[in-house]
Amino acid sequence: MKRILSLLALVLSSFPMHSHSAQTAQGQMFCLSPRFSEGTSRSAEYKLNLTGLNSGINGELFPVFGLSYTHGSYIEVYDDFIGDTYPGSMLLNIPTTDANGNGLPDFFESSQVVSTITSGTYNINQLSSGTIQATWARAAGSTSGGCTLKFIQNQFFTFAIFDHSFDLLEYTGAVAYVTSPTNVNGTISFSQTGTPDNILQGPVQFVKTATNRFNELTIQPGTWTNNLAQSLDFLEDVYTRSTSHPNLYAGYFDFVDWDPNTFDPDYYVWILAITDTHDTDRDGIPDFSDDAGNPLPRAPQLALSTTSSNLLLTIRGDVGRVHRVLEAASLTAPTWTTNSSVTLTSDPQIVALPLPGSGMKFWRVSAE
């Protein structure tokens, strides 16, 4: 009997498709309001507090929109010598550089260093008004930094210089998701950078924009819970996929109130960024917003045996899938001929092949 040489190799379909199974992306969110401690003037005469509340102090330097400055705050200046408190307000730019080029301001990313000077304006009722010079410093890897606020009344007189510490509110974690042609459903599990016992978790749903479904999604209103089991409602916002960083989706995230323990809503404007490196079909669109399709076929397992009249090829694979048996006389053959094509009705299934003539022959199976 002639010696039969065979190659049992697997070649997947040339049209791979997405899986419906859950994927996990990485999430990062940060509040656009840094939290300031009380500052003391270098003359020790005044104390300065920032707040975003109508009544009370919460240290919030909150974002403002449509103005020439990025942030603002209500302020209270306490005179230690006479015991009086003077209310006022301030507008201030925060650093906006993006040295690591990921599309997010370095100031809010704890992994990035901050060392720069910005400007602002202030008005303290019955006391002083003018401009502000803010000197910022924060080490990479820390959510805490320092800010010196120099209140300049005019070119000849500096009202006071206040030294503050400030903290960033940043959360990171996993976004588990399942995508479909119209939406993305998932759950988030985040912990606060530097304080991992502080958590956020809950469901999330994005609806894809029908005319731009790969690049634009709208987060639906929902509710998450924190480590105190408090319910935190959030609103609808639009998210876009970055053209310069195609794995990144980012947009505003608006809590109704991030801190329910205060009387007024505060610290409620955030940025949520989702990075997804999964690209099952390698088309350059992350699975997060790509169209979902049928699962990839299971890799067939093959075995070959002989009888006196033919070969018996045993195929183990997905029932209902088309499996094409290809053959060639050489491994380096430019084309392989389809010997037979079978849709599996059982697992395993046997396919009969004719005995080869003289020479060698190789077989492989393509599952589609």
Average pLDDT over residues 246-253: 96
pLDDT at residue 349, as a whole number: 83
Average pLDDT over residues 31-40: 97
- Asked if residue 30 has pLDDT above 80, the reply is yes
Q: What percent of the chain has pLDDT over 90?
A: 65
3-class DSSP state of 114: strand
pLDDT tens-digit series, residues 316-354: 888 888 888 888 888 788 888 888 888 888 888 888 888
Q: Which residues pair with 122 in a beta bridge?
A: 90, 130
What is the Rg, in whole angstroms, of the alpha carbon atoms belonging to the chain?
Answer: 31
pLDDT tens-digit series, residues 66-125: 999 999 999 999 998 899 999 999 999 999 999 888 888 999 999 999 999 999 999 999
Nearest Cα to Cα of residue 35 among 217, 164, 196, 225: 164
pLDDT at residue 5, as a whole number: 35
Structure tokens at 16: 């791979």
- Positions of E strands within 157-281: 157-167, 170-179, 183-192, 195-208, 216-219, 222-226, 231-234, 237-241, 248-254, 269-275
